[in-house]
Amino acid sequence: MIKPMTAKEAASRVLDGELFILDVRNESDYKDWKIEGKGIQSINRPYFDLIDGVEDVLELLPKGKEVLVACAKEGSSQMVAEMLDEAGVEDVYYLEGGMKSWSEYLNPVKVGDLKDGGSIYQFNRIGKGCLSYLVESGGEAAIIDSARMTDAYVDFAKENNLTIKHLIDTHLHADHISGGRKLAEAANGTYWLPEKDAGEVTFEYEKLEDGKEIVVGSTKIAIQPLYSPGHTIGSTSLIVDDQYLLSGDILFVDSIGRPDLAGKAEDWVGDLRNTLYNKYSELSKDLIVLPAHFGKISEIDEKGIVQAKLGVLFEQNEGLKIESEETFRKAVTENLPPQPNAYQEIRQTNMGQINPNEDEQREMEIGPNRCAITE
């Protein structure tokens, strides 16, 4: 009997466990994006090469271990899993909902407490490398850089008796569709967006500005926006409770943001350098940096969190240690990875200019995020 494996279970193996994966999507999809992790081993054999039989792959499968068959949606992995099962392989699973579900699974982890009794959570979209945050205090919540799959936040808020008040995007996203506006409409909350990124939006929003404070809960938990252009011209970092620096797509744990996704690499490279080397360097070295992305599974620490002290990043992150401006310019404008899938359509969707249906949105988001200069 073949068994389904949920994206949640697969996520737990990625974070802390092991698993052998037979990925049956076509070669280019596999090459572009797959399930990875310390204990994950995977091979690729397209399902259409296995229609006549699975004999050729049998010898590649580990003996006595679980095998997860994964495909884009589910159907092909079920077919191949059944063939393996009939061929005598034990412990065969198929990925429930396929890579689609994997891309959409959000794993919430508590990062820490706030001084006034609240706390901050990181919602890790492991399959895509996107990170969003929920700040709660006194029964209220603010969600930052929320993913398209809004149910995860709504369910979390319900379970914890929280009223969603503020939806904040640190910048206009190009790699994923923001759930901020949808959540704001559903909860009658306020949607915040940097004005300079919102020039062409078709909806009402509150300007996320330097000096404004967003208060969550009855106790004062200030989110202090810090204007920090570079990845987009409006990019804004948030300092939560004087403890956490939500750096958006400006600074990551292992890398720094790329300035080219709106076609303005040359224009914005100077802003990016100024933000990182002048503005961020004046902030407290004890701030804990919480970025909007990670590039490698190894950036997730043993607690399951992507985080690092700002002081440590200034010592270890190569992107913060480039002395010459010219070298920096080259590093962030040359040899960039390919741009995210459908990034222009995603930007248009986030501006409200186009309204794709759910299937189309899902299609647009397929693949890795590629928001960092190196991966």
Partner 1 sequence: MIKVDQTLDCKGLSCPMPIVRTKKAIDQLEAGQVIEVQATDKGSLADIQGWARNTGHQYLGTTTEGDVLKHYLRKSDPNEVKEETKYPHVIQNEELAQRLTDKENIVVLDVREPAEYAFKRIPGAVSIPLGELEGRLQEIDKNKEVFVVCRTGSRSDMASQLLAENGFENVKNVLPGMSEWNGPEEEGGK
Where along the sequence are the contacts to partner 1 (CB under 8 A)? 26-29, 46-49, 51, 71-73, 75-76, 79, 363
Helical H segments across 65-150, by residue range? 75-86, 98-104
CB of 340 to partner 1, least distance (A): 18
C-alpha distances in Å from residue 171, one per residue of 100, 207, 233, 238, 286: 25, 11, 8, 11, 24
Looking at the chain, which runs of residues are DSSP E strands? 3-5, 19-23, 40-44, 67-70, 92-95, 107-113, 119-125, 130-137, 140-144, 163-168, 190-193, 206-207, 214-215, 222-227, 236-240, 244-248, 288-291, 308-309
Q: How far is the CB of 5 from partner 1 (least distance, A)?
A: 18
Distance of closest approach, residue 367 Cβ to partner 1, in angstroms: 13
**Minimum CB distance to partner 1 smaller for 47 or for 156:** 47
Which listed residue (7, 35, 71, 143) is catalytic?
71
Q: Closest CB to partner 1 among 249 and 365?
A: 365
For partner 1, which is the closer residue by CB, 79 or 320?
A: 79
Between vectors from CA 226 to CA 223 and to CA 232, what angle results, nearest 5°?
120
Residue 25 or 370 with smaller CB distance to partner 1: 25
Judged by beta carbon, residue 29 or residue 66, the one nearer partner 1 is: 29
Smallest separation (angstroms) from partner 1 to the CB of 359 = 9
Beta pairing partners, 256: 251
Q: Let me know if 130 is a catalytic residue.
A: no
Question: Bridge partners of 167?
Answer: 143, 191
**Alpha-carbon distances of 114 from 121, 124, 169, 220, 292, rounded to whole Å:** 11, 20, 21, 10, 20
What type of residue is 293?
A: H
To the nearest whole angstrom, how small is the minimum distance from the Cβ of residue 313 to partner 1?
A: 39
In angstroms, rounded to a whole number, what is the distance separating the alpha carbons of residues 128 and 125?
A: 6
**Annotated active-site positions, please?**
71
